[in-house]
Amino acid sequence: MLIYIEKKAKDYEVTKKILSNFSNNQILWIDHYKNIFDKKIGNQILTPAIIIAKEENPNLLPVPNNYWYPGKSFFFRTSLNCVFDCEYCYLKGNFKTKYPVIFVNYEDIKNEITNKINEIRNEGYNNQITLYASNYSDIQWLDSLSWFNENFIPFIEQFENVLMESRTKSANIDSILSINKWIPFNNTEISFSLNPKEIISKYEKGTSPLETRIKAINTLLDKNYKVGLRFLPLLPVNNYEKIYSDFLEKLKWEINIEKIHSIFIASLIYNQWDFKTMQKKNPNSTLWDFVKQHENWLIKIPDDIFENFSKIFKQAFPKKEIYYDFV
């Protein structure tokens, strides 16, 4: 394993923990993570590596309008990139390498979160504030290196009417269960991205199999953790109506849907810049047949097909509220 470390990230506790887990690895000291992370490497085979860095400006970014939960919501990041090889993933368009980056100055990030929450409350807003932690990486898979759960799940518990969503395609839940000795927490929702097996095998290479994700979901539900289901991106493959209807019936049989905290669905969607990059990187992908450009310059599946998906989910889960991403 090759480990790139920013010199300014050397003395952080998370850095020391990461290094204690590895022996006989090559360490390269760097001035800034972008000198490696933003390097164009083409299709060459990469040596396995991680990058340890300091997030200089750990700002919370407001989410777009009509994104998931209503109310005030923000993205924050403690890491970049995903080890999974999902063919549709927008991270492929944004990032030039596959190396994951771990930002280790957690206290700075926590302070930014605290300041933002206090600012919003002082303005008189008392409804739910939602924090999305997984839009830049799959932090559950990375947790064995990053100690995200140990650091951030207890931290978020101190706030009133705040929810942190951690979304994953991994079945790695051991570190979740170890926090607070298997006593569930109130302010974090562990959300699992799910798709039919046919789509996982073709478009989500390297992710945890559907059955192991379902097993992880049931383990958390049995212990009364907040669990969400995320169906994204919806892909109108051949015979998609039957494929998704059968898939949802399977889930209803294997998961106690009444205990699920929330259900979200979303289109396959890109902005025009990411879409062009994705097409250049994978010009022969069958994904590009599923989408078209809309009036707002977004490239996504046609609205009538998304409405059809919506009907399928409403029929499958008539007693659950379905949240949408209308970005």
Name the one residue in this structure whose structure tokens are 């300091």: 54
Residue 96 binned pLDDT confidence (cut-offs 50, 70, 90): confident
Q: Which of the pair, 209 or 1, is modelled with greater confidence?
A: 209
pLDDT at 9 over 60: yes
pLDDT of residue 327: 55
- Judged by DSSP in three states, 117 sits in helix
Mean of pLDDT values over 88-99: 81
Average pLDDT of the residues of the chain: 92
What's this model's pTM, rounded to 2 decimal places?
0.93
Distance CA 178, CA 176 (A): 6
Residue 46 binned pLDDT confidence (cut-offs 50, 70, 90): low
Number of residues in the chain? 327
Alpha helix (H) ranges present in the chain?
Answer: 13-20, 34-37, 91-94, 106-122, 139-146, 148-156, 174-178, 197-203, 210-222, 240-254, 272-281, 303-316
Distance CA 49, CA 308 (A): 43
pLDDT of residue 249: 97
pLDDT of residue 53: 98
pLDDT at 52 over 90: yes
pLDDT at 143 over 60: yes
Per the CB < 8 A criterion, the answer to whether 100 and 137 are in contact is: yes
Residue 68 binned pLDDT confidence (cut-offs 50, 70, 90): confident
Within 8 A by CB and 6+ apart from 114, the residues are none
pLDDT of residue 245: 98
Residue 40 binned pLDDT confidence (cut-offs 50, 70, 90): low
Separation of first and last alpha carbons in the chain = 39
Mean of pLDDT values over 68-81: 93
Q: What is the token pair recorded at 162?
A: 């705040």
Chain centroid, CA 147 distance in Å: 16
Distance CA 142, CA 140 (A): 5
pLDDT of residue 207: 95
Query: Where on the phi/psi map is residue 182: left (φ > 0), alpha (ψ -120 to 50), or beta?
Result: left
pLDDT of residue 326: 65
pLDDT at 44 over 80: no
Q: Of all helices (H) and strands (E), which one includes residue 234?
A: strand 226-234
Q: Distances in Å between the alpha carbon of 258 and those of 50, 253, 272?
A: 40, 12, 38
pLDDT at 60 over 90: yes
Q: What is the token pair recorded at 124?
A: 């008189």
Tens of pLDDT along 99-137? 899 999 999 999 999 999 999 999 999 999 999 999 999
Per the CB < 8 A criterion, the answer to whether 292 and 31 are in contact is: no
Residue-range domains of the chain with CATH: 2-325 (3.80.30.30)
Tens of pLDDT along 16-29? 999 988 877 799 99
pLDDT of residue 43: 53
Q: What is the token pair recorded at 85?
A: 């090889």
pLDDT at 42 over 60: no
Nearest to 275 by CA among 292, 255, 257: 292
Mean of pLDDT values over 200-205: 95
Mean of pLDDT values over 249-272: 95
pLDDT at 154 over 80: yes
